[in-house]
Amino acid sequence: MEAFTALGNDKLGAAWPAVWALMRIVVVVVPLLVCVAYLTLWERKLIGWMHIRLGPNRVGYAGLLQPWADAVKLIFKELIAPSQADKPLFFLAPVLVMMPALAAWAVIPFGPGLVLADINAGLLFVMAITSVGVYGVIIAGWASNSKYAFLGALRASAQMVSYELAMGFVLVTVLLVAGSLNLSEIVVGQHSGYFAARGWNFLSWNWLPLLPLFVIYVVSSVAETNRHPFDVVEGESEIVAGHMVEYSGMSFAVFFLAEYANMMLLSTTATIMFLGGWAAPLDLERVFGLTLPTWLHGFSDWFWLVAKIFFVVSMFIWFRASFPRYRYDQIMRLGWKVFIPLTLLWLVVVAIWMQTPWNIWTHPVRPSQGESAPVQNVAGLSPNAASLRVF
């Protein structure tokens, strides 16, 4: 890597840092867009299996080229804008929805040291950049100059803001126990503790002590992305597809892809906050005495991160295939009268918990009889995050 950087500096000089940053962005964004496209296929296949039907199976082997056929169809469809619409804002709105879903990946760690921008305020960046997407929804409804679209935009924005509050309190609690805003440090902080020292890594992840918050975060993510059973924004029998009703062709496709990109982003965030990020559930060497080849360690990090994201994303699809759509008043009541009070209560409980002798996040690992306490050094962590946990 150093030789590659030196060669780039020699060839491009002062332009090399910008070129190198652009190359890394392309490496992240292109696979992400391909995954988003195939997530649409996975949704149709999984729901098909749940409903005992086939799903897409005509275009390519087992329907694997269906996303590309959909993309070609949408690219060649005519872009139509209402005659009285505000044209600049009308076509800007899809961009405002899609770009935050892609920009937030700049701080997502894919493995130890594998992150585009390893900033200390990574969690704050994700919270700030993803909240911008609501502006695209509002502008889409207003710029369409349609009462149906505007009503859908109001309902969508109110729902998104409501559940963002609950998600924010959840992330504040994770910040409290991690002692850091850096996403890599939050992941590494879950790699230590009583169970992790004995190879049972999944029992040291945040999902167990913060289980109510994990459930609230996943359900709020479904509502935040306007997914079923919270998709009243697109309740066709009520308001004719919501804020996207006047869009066609690729402008509609961008809204469509933004929904799936947000699903993947929120699933990744849930994996990092609660499921140990790239860590394997079990340390085979400590539990079974098996030693993995050196070349498998890096692959293992990628595999477990992708597997966890895939699991959480599949939960989104599972919810869609299983639950009926809620009424709008039920959705808002769940957010304001249930989730927000519960997250506030659990935040206070965790804060008090951390001041007691049973604080599992700052106590050293307890040794079993006849052995000394194992010492783990977590490189690059703040003192709070690097301290070993009993859990």
Averages of pLDDT over runs of 10 residues in the chain (391 residues) are 57 73 86 91 92 89 90 89 88 91 90 85 89 90 88 87 91 90 89 80 88 93 88 66 83 89 93 90 78 71 90 92 86 92 93 86 45 38 42 51
Identify the bridge partners of residue 114 per DSSP, sorted by sequence position. Answer: 111
Phi first, then psi, for residue 114 (nearest 5°) are -95, 85
What is the helix, strand, coil percentage profile of the chain, to 5? 65, 0, 30
Q: Distance (Å, rounded) from C-alpha 364 to C-alpha 357? A: 12
Of 372, 187, 332, the closest CA to residue 274 belongs to 187
CB of 389 closer than 8 Å to CB of 192:
yes
Buried-state track 350-365, b at ≥16 Cβ within 10 A, e below 16: beebbeeeebbbebbb
Of 69, 116, 45, 62, the closest CA to residue 314 belongs to 45
pLDDT at 43: 93
pLDDT at 35: 92
pLDDT at 151: 85
3-state class (DSSP) for residue 65:
coil
pLDDT at 344: 93
Q: Distance (Å, rounded) from C-alpha 124 to C-alpha 155? A: 26
pLDDT at 243: 83
Of 47, 145, 154, the closest CA to residue 89 belongs to 145
Q: Distance (Å, rounded) from C-alpha 256 to C-alpha 190? A: 34
> SS3 sequence, 253-279?
HHHHHHHHHHHHHHHHHHHHHHCCCCC
Of 10, 339, 285, the closest CA to residue 166 belongs to 339
Q: What is the pTM of this model?
A: 0.84
Q: Is residue 130 classed exposed, middle or buried when 0-12, 13-18 and 19+ CB atoms within 10 A define those classes?
A: buried
Q: Distance (Å, rounded) from C-alpha 221 to C-alpha 218? A: 5
pLDDT at 349: 92
C-alpha neighbours within 13 Å on the C-beta side of residue 378: 23
